[in-house]
Amino acid sequence: MKTTLALTTALLLAPWGQTLAADAPVTLKFQQGVNGYTGTQDAHIRSNETSGGDSRGVNYGSLDHLSIDGDDGSPGAKPNQGLIRFEQLFGTAAGQIRGGDTIVSATLQLQVFDAGSGFTVHQLLRDWNQSTVSWNLVGAGIQTNGVEAGTSSLATVGANNSNANIGTGLLSIDVTASLQAMQAGTVANHGWLLQPYAAGSNGIDFHSSEASNASLRPLLSVQLVSSVPEPQSWALLGAGLMAILGLQGRRSRRH
């Protein structure tokens, strides 16, 4: 009887395990003002102090666009750096990434409206706030020195010249490894630095989280396999357990 009961239990629970194994990846999307999400911070910081006034102490966090440029002034290299972060990504609430979830892919999507040279993407290692950040506030811009931002790039976009290497429209950037590191706690979620190329003097502009059209705002798309079983899986498990308990009850009455 014990063998029969064990076999019955295995047969009843097997479909539940198969349901979990067959769960398809789900996609979470984080975009300012869409489906109640309000966790995007973004800004650009400017080093120019000659053309059109000194920009180094000015905060540009409220603009509806971000400008990444290797030389946005004259004379000499006057770069603009971009900063972007998506907060409230991790947790146990609906629409968040749980600790046990498997991140399959993560893509940062930007809507470019002014073609330009390009940039590299680095992990930001220091905190900042879009309403106060400026070139001077962070100390002559963000340095990719392993203290303020990662030394190696997470992604490269465009090329190190003055051509319009990145055209207008949707620009997708793979940030999977970065998000996986955030989930694991290897790095804190301070977001990403968009660092212009030294010779990338053709500025590239894209819509920020303040854009009036919500669909044009930066979007983080995360595909994952959830650690939480689907409701139908729980229902199947419950039915299986009830059946097992019923068998045990009948066995007890016989004795």
- Strands (DSSP E) along 61-168, which ranges? 65-68, 80-86, 102-114, 118-123, 155-158
Q: What are the residue boundaries of the structural domains of the chain, listed by start?
A: 1-23+229-255, 28-227
Q: Measure the CA angle with vertex 28, ends 22 and 33; round to 5°.
A: 160
Helix residue ranges per DSSP H, the chain: 2-21, 176-184, 231-254
pLDDT at 197: 97
* Residue 230 CB-density burial (10 A; 0-12 exposed, 13-18 middle, 19+ buried): middle
pLDDT at 19: 42
Give pTM, 2 decimals: 0.82
Taking phi first (over 0 means left), then psi (-120 to 50 degrees means alpha), and beta for anything else, what does residue 38 get? alpha
pLDDT digits (tens, 9 = 90+) for 140-176: 999 999 999 999 999 999 999 999 999 999 999 999 9
Sites in the chain below the pLDDT cut of 50: 3-22, 233-237, 241, 244
Could you tell me what percent of the chain has a pLDDT over 90? 75
pLDDT at 233: 46
Q: How many CA atoms lie within 13 A of 163 on its CB side?
A: 7
Q: Which of helix, strand or coil describes residue 251? A: helix
pLDDT at 15: 47
pLDDT at 31: 98
DSSP 103-131: EEEEEEEEEEEE-B-EEEEEEB-S---TT
